[in-house]
Structure 1
Amino acid sequence: MFFNPEYIILSVIGSIIVAFMSLSSRQPLTLKQLKGSRFLPFKIRRHEGTYDETTESRVRSITELAEYHETAARLANMIHKDGAGTWPPRAEHAPSYWPPALRPFRDIYDEMAPLLPSATPSLDDDVNRERIAYFRSRLWNLLNDKVNLQEVTALLAAAEAGRWDVFPRDVYNAFYVCVAWCRHAYRWGTIPAVRVAQVEKTIVLPPELISTWASLQRHFGLDSDSGNMMSCLILNFSPSGEYALKINTGLSPIITSSEEEFARICNEMEALAVPIYHDIVRATISFAHGDKSACLEHVQGITSQLRPLLSSYYDRVHDSKIARSAWLSHVQGFFAWGAGYENESSGDWEKFDGLSGNQVLLFQALDAFLGLEVYLPKQVLLRNVPQLQREFSEAVGRHSFRHRLGNEGVEGRIKAEFGEIVKRLRVFRSAHRTRAKIYLTVPAPERLPMTAGKSLLKDNMDDSLEFLDEFMVLRLQQTV
């Protein structure tokens, strides 16, 4: 029989295209699909001795589970969109990968970063006002001179339309960090943050930092003027793990290393949290389908993985890694905000706080899995925690089964394992409470008592610590 070579070649190409389309379709469900989906019956698959436990394999498994349960679908959707296909989220900070219209922002960071910090802050308000005014004026002029806002707006519009071929997600994530850095640097004008900046009630930002931020925040489902855990810390690492945009450029190693060690805690904890998220999903699915033994296995996995994860905090938050002399002055203040505007409708003053450890996804997901009430007020969640992270935690909470467990047999063992998770979280929250006090009591005569997450506190540090302790004690009491 005669075979036409051209026909054979076309057939092979056609087969490849069909296969590619089939693979491409295996993406996390869209929000529209998710709301109307009916999840498929789940066939329990036990762990095997050769189970591949890399991050890539877990992300792949989460994606495969998306059609079986809401928790998996929400998690897969978050990883695909906000994470650029992985977790912790991928952020491409190399300017050579950025569209040309965005590169001036990174050039401006390179020029302004060395001008922001001071090794020893001035206690003279007039000197500080002059320093802040100079920094802000120079940053404003550079943005005005170098940024083509029309071209940047067109790129952001392409992203909002889903054109990720034009504006790749990992570049988008890195750009989010760059704009957040510029906004926080402009807001303070000098680091350490000083009194005259703290008492400012409103900040008039350059246009290049307003419209871009509005678009970025819409994408992540946020409405705060301030940066957050994602924009300031978790996304501030390159794919190779390099700390990208710095606060204290040019200062002593004890300051710069303290800054980087602090930043690495949150990014590393999210990396170590991937197996926990995976087991939360699999435990939830297993319980829903009546396989209590598999459920127990996954809850035990969460307990065992909490130890090395929390160790990343314990091993760094002490003076030899994060110097007490550097953190309060040269790190914490940058992530605060404490300014706002008057609400035209109500006449109320809308003040925005900054970065807080309460924004960490891991603890929100664990609390939801344990069936604990949400700690952050709804307004704070909407302002500072990305929408897809909120949706994942809310789905976990909706399917929490801890309080439906009996006391006997496998269910009793699962219940006891939940108790171990609670115990480890209580130890962590107690340790955090103690260490936070140690770091917050370091003298900072250049400023008023302030945290990043709560902004200005009481008039003196003793009253401020008492005020903060109420929040930490309350959450400790709720962790049961």
Structure 2
Amino acid sequence: MLSWMFSTWNRSLAVEASAEPSTRILQDPLKHRSLECLQDLIELGGGGTWPPTATYEDSWPRPLRPYHSVLRIMETSLPVEEPSLDNARNREIIDTFRARMHSELVRCVDIREVERTLEEWQSHSDRSVQSAWLGFFACISFLRHAYRWGVTPIVSEAQSETSVLFPGELDLPWLALQRHFGISSPSGCMTSICYSNMTTAADHLQYSVTAGMPELHSSTEFWNTKLVIDMEVKVAITYMDLENQDAARDALKSANDILRAALKHFFSTMVEKTLSPKVWMAYVQGFQGWALDDVDGISGGQSLIFRTLDSFLGIRPWPTTEKERLHIPEAQRNWLNCLRDYDIRTVAKQRNYDQVTAELESLVKQLRLWRMGHMRRMQPYESVHRPERKTMTAGISVVDAADEEQMILHLKKELGRRLAQTI
């Protein structure tokens, strides 16, 4: 018996499409470890749905709400249209931004009340509270990334920093969020910056790094997150009992069809009309990086749908426990480890289920084709020249490359390694 995540998807009914299978899973009375992990993923990791449902300041205890207000105050001060190439000028801009944010935090936040509130809040585990935790996770992540960079587009002056002393008002809630979600990274992650930042109506982002900028900027930022969410919305559940080869074959055949549609949607959305390479590089990719204390920022590799595929299909090597714990919340890790432990391809081969094995190999083939296509599609996005900063990606920080061409070669090597492992 195995839980598998896929479903039909309707762009105009994204929220409804994600909620219905989640409800079925939560109400299923079956006693099985895979289902229990999946229910925990939805209940504890998603606030009752997958992708997660986050709620914002009105749902938080009152002492936590000033964080939302501070972020709103600082949002329009972060982005600039024309970044400076002068390091001394950029140092002044960064220091001024940080000083102002610190001042606003001290003025608005009662840190003792925050500490008391978080301790009390931690003991509540109902669905609405989990959704509120997710929204708070997004807010503090955006504040920390904004404080870390001080300006967007990010600049080499900030990239050169190896550590940053954060205000206590940002460190204290972050420690609580690390405990609550079971992560160890000091930076935001796919769950906090992307999954938890889309409003319930899925028509705008709750927090933005392009506030006050032209429409092209806000549209690119929106679709960068929307694309990630859309791929996850295509995730639902089919139960496959490997005692019944025909049922398992049919479920996998359906999964292949749905994955094909999901990957087609990915490539049809990742185009210049929707995601401007110049704006994406400057205002999205940079902000999502971290590059402090040998910790990287957000990468597409944190996407649950692709981690689920790798885990389900037994595509190794797995990340080390320590590396995965950095950015992947505990409920997601438990789900992935459950799939890895089951090892469906081995089970199918041991039972001589040739038709099931054929469908599984078809999924592997699709994943290989996606990785080859992604390697080509990412090049115009990652190769944009940004003279104000060092070459970097959000997921692997500053790249040891003299120029964008050398960086692309480095990225192709990294992506090629994973492609070679997709067998």
- Give yes or no for TM over 0.5: yes
How does 1:158-307 map onto structure 2 within 5 Å? 158-162=120-124, 164=126, 168-241=129-202, 242-273=204-235, 275=236, 278-279=237-238, 282-283=239-240, 286-287=241-242, 290-307=243-260
Q: What percent of counterpart residues are identical?
A: 30
Residues 66, 302 of structure 1: alpha-carbon distance in 2 compared, 3 angstrom cutoff = farther
Task: Answer whether contact 1:113 1:249 (CA < 8 A) is retained.
Answer: yes
Task: Answer whether contact 1:272 1:309 (CA < 8 A) is retained.
Answer: yes
What's the CA shift for 1:149? 1.3
What's the CA shift for 1:192? 0.3
Task: Answer whether contact 2:23 2:49 (CA < 8 A) is retained.
Answer: no
For 1:293, the aligned partner's letter is: D
Task: Answer whether contact 1:375 1:475 (CA < 8 A) is retained.
Answer: no
3-state SS, counterpart of residue 378 of structure 2: helix
Residues 416, 450 of structure 1: alpha-carbon distance in 2 compared, 3 angstrom cutoff = same
User: Which residue, 273, 277, 292 being the options, matches 1:324?
Assistant: 277
Residues 337, 54 of structure 1: alpha-carbon distance in 2 compared, 3 angstrom cutoff = closer
For 2:270, the aligned partner's letter is: V
How does 1:6-155 map onto structure 2 within 5 Å? 54-65=17-28, 67-93=30-56, 95-155=57-117
What's the CA shift for 1:92? 0.9
Q: Deviations over 1:65-124 (max 9, x none)?
A: 46432111101011011111111111012x333322122111111110000000111111
Task: Answer whether contact 1:299 1:417 (CA < 8 A) is retained.
Answer: yes
Residues 377, 469 of structure 1: alpha-carbon distance in 2 compared, 3 angstrom cutoff = farther
Determine if the alignment matches structure 1 residue 415 to structure 2 residue 415. Answer: no
Q: Match for residue 401 of structure 1?
A: 344
Determine if the alignment matches structure 1 residue 359 to structure 2 residue 302. Answer: yes
For 2:289, the aligned partner's letter is: A
For 2:29 and 2:300, the matched residues in 1 are separated by 29
For 2:42 and 2:211, the matched residues in 1 are separated by 32
What's the CA shift for 1:377? 3.7
For 1:114 and 1:328, the matched residues in 2 are separated by 19
Task: Answer whether contact 2:198 2:225 (CA < 8 A) is retained.
Answer: no
For 2:126 and 2:63, the matched residues in 1 are separated by 16
What's the CA shift for 1:55? 3.6
TM-score (norm 2): 0.92
Q: Match for residue 424 of structure 1?
A: 366
Task: Answer whether contact 2:290 2:296 (CA < 8 A) is retained.
Answer: yes
Residues 353, 320 of structure 1: alpha-carbon distance in 2 compared, 3 angstrom cutoff = same
Report the structure number with the largest CA radius of gyration.
1
Residues 163, 151 of structure 1: alpha-carbon distance in 2 compared, 3 angstrom cutoff = farther
Q: Deviations over 1:409-446 (max 9, x none)?
A: 8x221111112111211111111111222211111000
3-state SS, counterpart of residue 271 of structure 2: coil
Q: Match for residue 390 of structure 2?
A: 448
3-state SS, counterpart of residue 354 of structure 2: helix
For 2:390, the aligned partner's letter is: L
Structure 2: gaps spanning 5 or more residues: 3-15
Q: Match for residue 419 of structure 2?
A: 476
3-state SS, counterpart of residue 138 of structure 1: helix
What's the CA shift for 1:210? 0.2
Matched pairs, number: 408
Task: Answer whether contact 2:282 2:386 (CA < 8 A) is retained.
Answer: yes
For 2:125 and 2:283, the matched residues in 1 are separated by 39
- What is the root-mean-square deviation of aligned Cα atoms in Å? 2.0
Q: Match for residue 6 of structure 2?
A: none
TM-score (norm 1): 0.81
Q: Match for residue 30 of structure 1?
A: none
Structure 1: gaps spanning 5 or more residues: 1-40, 43-52, 341-350
Q: Deviations over 1:322-346 (max 9, x none)?
A: 1112111111000001012xxxxxx
For 2:200, the aligned partner's letter is: P
Q: Deviations over 1:140-190 (max 9, x none)?
A: 01001100112222221123223659x822111101100000000000000
